[in-house]
A and B are shown apart, each in its own frame.
Chain A
């Protein structure tokens, strides 16, 4: 299970997924253009892999103004 923290939605999900981050994004309604992704607290490229035990934080690109 991947733990996915959605900052804007203030939600934490457990998603069953292994593979590149960019494949996970559409599953939680985001895309490379709309999210900055932190894996275990560090920003990462969306080509990077995630899997069991990882924590993914989704920072929304759109906010404030």
Chain B
């Protein structure tokens, strides 16, 4: 098949019926990315944007697109990488981040669980309790990203979640009956706490497959590895289901996200926490007296002994 420009198509976008050559495909991704930012007012000229980068395809494509945009639309851009301390995984992906940042001339900051909390995720996972590595990892990563983005003077923290990530989480929360989480997943969730850096997700309408293709046609080298702790059977089922539906009914994932986005203002009104206070221990935003991270650290300290 041919692209409408006459070149050979490399991609059939089934949900829109377009056959696209690599140039027109890349252009369409950059346009979509810009549209998401503009229509949702994700950033302003002069903002300081910190991009969370893991070395996987999503965050590296996001970094690349942000860099490209920063050449036209003035804003400051830097990258923040969290080293959870997962051997055989993060130690392999960080070199990809370093390479991308040096190629794109972007300042990179790396922070680790070990230096921040005294324990690597591998050490925490060795406790082998019922919570599982991902629960600790998620809470710690959110905490450290927010804290360091704030220390870097960020106006926005940009994250690389794609359409598949977003539609999976929507369906997971729906099937779990977790309605309160629903009020907190929009494109631009501004928390009601002055220490919380608003997160933006400029890729959330772009399918995961298109992120991979974009990385390939633009020569963005990324890490293929998957985290050894990523066992989430429930998410795998949801992913398989959504992929099956998307294959039968192209546009399913977009429709799910759109439905969510239209409900979001109502959900947010009803379920967003009324006020967020400050953790009595570390001073970071918290819903209860002490934040989740501090509670977890205390628990870990009891099991593993105090960190040095």
B interface with A by C-beta (< 8 Å) = 1, 9-12, 14, 19, 22, 54-58, 93, 164, 208-209, 212-213, 216-217, 222-227, 230, 239, 243-244, 246-247
State in angstroms the CA–CA spacing of A62 and B57 once bound together.
Answer: 9
Q: Are A43 and B14 in contact (CB under 8 A)?
A: no
Contact A47:B243 (CB < 8 A) given known A7-B224, A36-B212: no
Q: Are A65 and B209 in contact (CB under 8 A)?
A: no
Q: Are A61 and B208 in contact (CB under 8 A)?
A: yes
* B22 neighbours in A (Cβ, 8 Å): 43
Q: Are A63 and B223 in contact (CB under 8 A)?
A: yes
* Additional A-B contacts beyond A36-B209, A63-B222, A63-B223 (8; CB < 8 A): A8-B224, A31-B243, A44-B10, A46-B12, A61-B212, A63-B212, A64-B57, A65-B54
* B56 neighbours in A (Cβ, 8 Å): 63-65
Interface of A: prevailing SS: loop
Least CB separation from A46: chain B residue: B12
| Cβ of A57 to closest chain B Cβ, rounded Å | 10
The verdict on A2 contacting chain B, using a C-beta distance below 8 Å, is no
* B247 neighbours in A (Cβ, 8 Å): 31-33
Q: Are B209 and A33 in contact (CB under 8 A)?
A: yes
State in angstroms the CA–CA spacing of A63 and B165 once bound together.
Answer: 12
The verdict on A52 contacting chain B, using a C-beta distance below 8 Å, is no
* A38 neighbours in B (Cβ, 8 Å): 216
State in angstroms the CA–CA spacing of A64 and B54 once bound together.
Answer: 8
* A59 neighbours in B (Cβ, 8 Å): 212, 216
* B213 neighbours in A (Cβ, 8 Å): 36, 43
Contact A64:B55 (CB < 8 A) given known A33-B209, A33-B247: yes
* B225 neighbours in A (Cβ, 8 Å): 63-64
Least CB separation from A63: chain B residue: B224
Contact A65:B230 (CB < 8 A) given known A33-B243, A34-B243: yes
Return 11 A-B CB contacts under 8 Å, by A number: A32-B14, A33-B244, A38-B216, A42-B10, A45-B1, A61-B208, A62-B208, A62-B226, A63-B223, A63-B224, A64-B226
Q: Are B10 and A64 in contact (CB under 8 A)?
A: no
Which A-B residue pairs are the 10 nearest by beta carbons? A64-B56, A33-B243, A43-B10, A45-B12, A63-B224, A61-B209, A36-B212, A36-B213, A61-B208, A65-B56
The verdict on A23 contacting chain B, using a C-beta distance below 8 Å, is no
Q: Which of A34, A47, A64 contacts B12 (CB 8 A)?
A: A47
| Cβ of A4 to closest chain B Cβ, rounded Å | 17
State in angstroms the CA–CA spacing of A12 and B9 once bound together.
Answer: 26
